[in-house]
Structure 1
Amino acid sequence: MSLALSTLIYEWRRYMAAVIALAVAGLLVLSLVGMFMGIGKNFTATIDRSPADLMVLPPDSQGFGSSQPRRNIPTLYQHPEVVEVMPYTQRWAMWANFPSPGQSAKRDGVQVIIVDPIEGAVTLPTDFPEDVILALQEPYSVVVDATSLAKLGVKVGDKAQMNGRTVNVRATISNYPSLFNSMVFMSRQTAKLLRLYDEGPRVGSLLVKLRDPSRAAIVAQDLNNMSNKQFRAWTREDLARENQAEMFKESFIVIMLGFMLIVGVFIGVVITWQTLQGAILANIKEFASLRALGVSMGNLNLIIMELSFWVGVAGLMMTGILLVGVTALANAVGLTMFYPLWSIITIAIMLLTIAVISGLLSLGVLKKSQPADLLR
């Protein structure tokens, strides 16, 4: 074990402030990234968990809100490997509960997600259990995420109104929380009864199931070649990456993350630098002893730099522990957190860089480690 690492282990209390500062700096930025990406994941949860192999959107769109001509559906069937094409249909409706005595009335806008409650249907999320599928097959039945029950003022078995028509809350699902408008799932037949679905000339995104899912990238290229610029086919992975990139093109998100990054770096550098300086000064006689034994100033500088590196590693480990706690707390209140690999790598490099810079700024303290001071 090196001298720097053993010093950090045996005198960890001296360096704890630096470790905590680095952990807070990393947590500050990562939690914001996780929150924004989690919100984006909530919006695309039904797509991410769809059995579809390809998603077909208008040629100039990377989102699911834009419409396209319905005639694109038969065009897609011209490819021999396409076995099913269905539109992804989302509507908006006004929700109102029937309050029981002592209960407050709830009225809110909701997202209506229309699915086909048949096992293996391309519009049916893969994580819907059998009891939920059976419940959706009943006329006028709806399903909501368990975290939305209180917001909507209902429980399983209650009736509610959507656009003035009565529906039955027949079951709940998990992992579809929403900070804004709650998601309400219903069958295509129920949507027709509620006048929330029509078969007009335009549709939203198209979900495509292939004969061989492993050829999704090849089929997507084939479809794009035959599209005549009327649509664009995406694999799920490519569309997810594009959606993530689109989120960070929003100026508000970029400004917030940039500001928090600057604040985090400033806090990390200042506190880590001051803590390292204080710890080195507290051990200045030990460093003077090393110089008296013939250790060069260059080697002492290397010890300080290695020590700062290990402080960065410890800060990185604490960031991971704190992030697990923050994620668990967010999930408990229905907030999805998602951390792309690039964000974790970026923060890891940032924390190690802060630690190394703080070590460099602390090297001047070693000039006070004069061997002659040992004789005083």
Structure 2
Amino acid sequence: MRYVVLSLVRNLRKHLSGVLAVALTFLLIEGQIGVTTGLVSLMSWPIDHSEADIWIAAPGTTSCDTGGKIRRGWENQARELQGVAATDSLISAYYNWRASDDSIRLIMVLGCSLSQDALGPANHLAPGQQTLLTQPDTVIVNQSDQAALKIRGIGDRGTIGNLEVRVVDFTTEMPGVTGPYVICSQRTARRIFRGFRERDTTFVLVKCRSENEIKPTLSELEKNEGISCFQSSAFSLRTRLYCLSTTKAGIALTFIACLGTIAGGLVLTDSLYTVTMSEAKQFAVLRALGVSLMQLRSFVLKQSFLVWIAGTAIGIILVSVAGIISNAMGVAFTRSVWSLVLSIIATSVMSAVAGLLALRSLSSSDPNQLLR
């Protein structure tokens, strides 16, 4: 190992391209995963920012933006179960926003309860903002969506369906993907969705007394017909997978991520192979001096391993910097342990493949030919 380290240090300029190839490929893979998971996580924003443990929805619901109409009576039935601490309801559906210049933009309306014990995503709003939403026909939108919705400031108006609404405040924690989120009271939501009566809702939210009560409560609710029941974490994952596998944007994003990873892998493998083969004459001299082929194989694999270690370390630093920059620009970038492990495994496999290909070439070559 000492000779391997000395060789790398002595030929640092030659091996620098291999180290950078590993680092940039690591950044590419981690970046593709981070951006993809970050964007699809915005689809499950209403679930992830609620206090509910269980979501009750219409039969066949595949994600939190495809819910149908169910009875609010399920809220009372769920409250009667022993493990339930609180219940709530949420009205959500896509609708068109018509701005003052008659331009139209697709939005996701979230009609939330505004009480102190509410479980819906309105919890992330400040108490003063929730009070503002108690006024008739008022909404709150994300600040980054002002330009898309042609809103100049607080007090501006827009039309959702046939109802004119007034913007009373902005928030910075409500990003959308397929369309901006617009939060309002349930009273305003029912005025927007004329087909929703007082007894109708899209989702019933259930909060259990403890984590141990979640699965038993879910099992009890699943015995009822006419509804679908999900644990919050499972419903969030289901929503993200639905976005990736069925929507055109999700499929395109997945395809680009896979294509970028494959391209990065090919570049990495070729770079490391070229760096290793550039030392072919040195290996030929060692073989002519009596060094066994097994020792040369060990040398090449150790060299590939050290190059991978150095490149991965630089790659982790680059990913951290990229995450800071992307968050500052408002781009969703999610980092997790599993994505880090996946990137490490992918680059290690690519580095090993490059080393093995170089070994195969060296093993099949005659030392006399390499020395010419």
TM-score bracket for this pair, using the shorter chain length: 0.7 to 0.9
Q: Which residue of 2 aligns with 1:350?
A: 346
Q: Which residue of 1 aligns with 2:231?
A: 235
SS in 2 for 1:89: strand
SS in 2 for 1:88: strand
Q: Does 2:355 correspond to 1:359?
A: yes
Q: Counterparts in 2 of 1:229-308, with a 5 A limit?
A: 229-250=225-246, 252=252, 255-278=255-278, 280-281=279-280, 284-285=281-282, 288=285, 292=289, 295-308=291-304
Q: Which residue of 2 aligns with 1:211?
A: 209
Q: CA deviation at 1:319?
A: 3.1
Q: CA RMSD in A?
A: 3.4
Q: Which residue of 2 aligns with 1:38?
A: 38
Matched AA of 2:78: L
Check whether the contact 1:25–1:265 (CA below 8 A) recurs between aligned residues.
yes
Count residues in correspondence: 362
2:330 to 326, 330, 334: 334
Q: CA deviation at 1:252?
A: 5.0
In structure 2, relative to structure 1, the CA distance for the partners of 1:58 and 1:344 (3 Å cut) is farther
Q: Which runs of 5+ in 2 are unaligned?
A: none
User: Normalising by structure 1, what TM-score?
Assistant: 0.81
Q: Which residue of 1 aligns with 2:47?
A: 47
Check whether the contact 2:92–2:109 (CA below 8 A) recurs between aligned residues.
yes
In structure 2, relative to structure 1, the CA distance for the partners of 1:323 and 1:175 (3 Å cut) is farther
Q: Which residue of 1 aligns with 2:79?
A: 77
Check whether the contact 1:85–1:206 (CA below 8 A) recurs between aligned residues.
yes
Find the aligned partners of 1:297 and 1:310 in 2 and give their Cα distance.
Answer: 20
Q: Which shifted more, 342-351 or 331-340? A: 331-340
2:126 to 112, 126, 129: 129
- CA offsets 1:122-160 (integer angstroms, 9 cap, x no match): 124443233332332333332111211222232442312
Q: Which residue of 1 aligns with 2:170?
A: 172
Q: Which residue of 1 aligns with 2:182?
A: 184
Check whether the contact 1:115–1:124 (CA below 8 A) recurs between aligned residues.
yes
SS in 2 for 1:168: strand
Find the aligned partners of 2:170 and 2:345 in 1 and give their Cα distance.
Answer: 42
1:317 to 313, 316, 340: 313
Check whether the contact 2:97–2:159 (CA below 8 A) recurs between aligned residues.
yes
Q: CA deviation at 1:121?
A: 0.6
Check whether the contact 1:177–1:335 (CA below 8 A) recurs between aligned residues.
no
Q: CA deviation at 1:302?
A: 0.9
Matched AA of 1:94: N
Find the aligned partners of 1:247 and 1:194 in 2 and give their Cα distance.
Answer: 26
The percentage of aligned residue pairs carrying the same residue is: 17
User: Normalising by structure 2, what TM-score?
Assistant: 0.82
Find the aligned partners of 1:202 and 1:117 in 2 and give their Cα distance.
Answer: 17
Check whether the contact 1:111–1:183 (CA below 8 A) recurs between aligned residues.
yes
Find the aligned partners of 2:232 and 2:78 in 1 and give their Cα distance.
Answer: 17
In structure 2, relative to structure 1, the CA distance for the partners of 1:61 and 1:192 (3 Å cut) is closer
Check whether the contact 2:36–2:254 (CA below 8 A) recurs between aligned residues.
no
Find the aligned partners of 2:3 and 2:276 in 1 and give their Cα distance.
Answer: 15
Check whether the contact 1:288–1:369 (CA below 8 A) recurs between aligned residues.
yes
Find the aligned partners of 2:129 and 2:8 in 1 and give their Cα distance.
Answer: 55
Q: Which residue of 2 aligns with 1:102?
A: none
In structure 2, relative to structure 1, the CA distance for the partners of 1:84 and 1:273 (3 Å cut) is same
